[in-house]
């Protein structure tokens, strides 16, 4: 797992460090906890897929609880929180982490929102188009004063989120495109082959993490897992 540090865009004029943990999938990689302890971020932000399935959730929920006892921790909901008929909202709330389920919280000049996956209660499949999420609450979110951060598991939502008055959108889900040749991603769920949004910044306001684990049955090529710290010095 690579440890990356990137500069926050449009950031408030004060020191700030945010840890982005994407796509845990119930597997805690070696070095993840130590990196968080060393960096001491102001907040740890999970963008969904903390768990993998009904049968594979214990490690992810335990790690979320550990983070919430040490750091200000927020979690939005990805597709795997609802996979195979699951609904992990209550379990996530019991960890002590702040569950952002189509809602937001205000803290110390930050407004942190969480956009719930459109797969909540919907049938899922690898090649199925991602259902649209609920967005009516975003109008109120965008009117709040402060540095507005939206946790949105699906980067493919950027096409209709980009026009909202949001300072920073954080996503995962694409797993970096799994295989990258000459920097070109090959496939991502919800986007198909040669996806547009897989790693790094897009439109100056959305950052997509490659994720901290590899949950796919095939290896990654040219595409390391990553823990991302977004900083403003």
Q: Which of 157, 138, 150 is nearest to 113 (CA)?
A: 150
pLDDT of residue 127: 60
- Per run of 10 residues, the mean pLDDT along the chain (length 233 residues) is 94 93 96 97 98 95 98 97 92 98 97 96 76 96 97 97 97 95 92 95 97 89 96 90
pLDDT of residue 129: 84
Q: Is the pTM of this model over 0.75?
A: yes
pLDDT of residue 126: 62
pLDDT of residue 215: 84
Assess contact for 103 and 136: CB atoms under 8 A.
no
CA distance to 53, 80, 116, 201, per residue, from 135 (Å): 26, 20, 9, 22
pLDDT of residue 39: 96
Assess contact for 109 and 147: CB atoms under 8 A.
yes
């Amino acid at each position: 797992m690579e440890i990356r540090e990137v500069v926050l865009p449009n950031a408030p004029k004060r020191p700030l460090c945010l840890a982005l943990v994407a796509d845990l999938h119930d597997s805690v990689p070696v070095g993840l906890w130590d990196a968080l302890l060393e960096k001491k971020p102001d907040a740890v932000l999970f963008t969904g897929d903390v768990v993998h399935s009904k049968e594979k959730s214990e490690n992810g929920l335990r790690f979320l609880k550990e983070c919430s006892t040490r750091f200000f921790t927020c979690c939005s909901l990805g597709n795997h929180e609802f996979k195979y008929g699951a609904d992990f909202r209550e379990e996530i709330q019991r960890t002590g982490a702040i569950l952002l389920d189509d809602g937001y919280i205000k803290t110390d000049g930050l407004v942190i929102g969480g956009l719930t996956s459109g797969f909540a209660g919907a049938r899922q499949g690898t090649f199925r188009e991602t259902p649209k999420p609920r967005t009516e609450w975003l109008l109120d979110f965008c009117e709040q004063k402060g540095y507005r951060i939206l946790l949105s598991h699906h980067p493919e939502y950027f096409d209709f989120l980009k026009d909202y008055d949001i300072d920073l959108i954080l996503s995962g889900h694409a797993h970096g495109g799994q295989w990258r040749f000459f920097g070109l991603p090959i496939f991502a769920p919800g986007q198909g082959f040669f996806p547009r949004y897989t790693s790094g910044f897009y439109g100056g306001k959305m950052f997509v993490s490659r994720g901290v684990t590899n949950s796919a049955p095939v290896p990654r090529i040219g595409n390391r897992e990553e823990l991302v710290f977004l900083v403003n010095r």
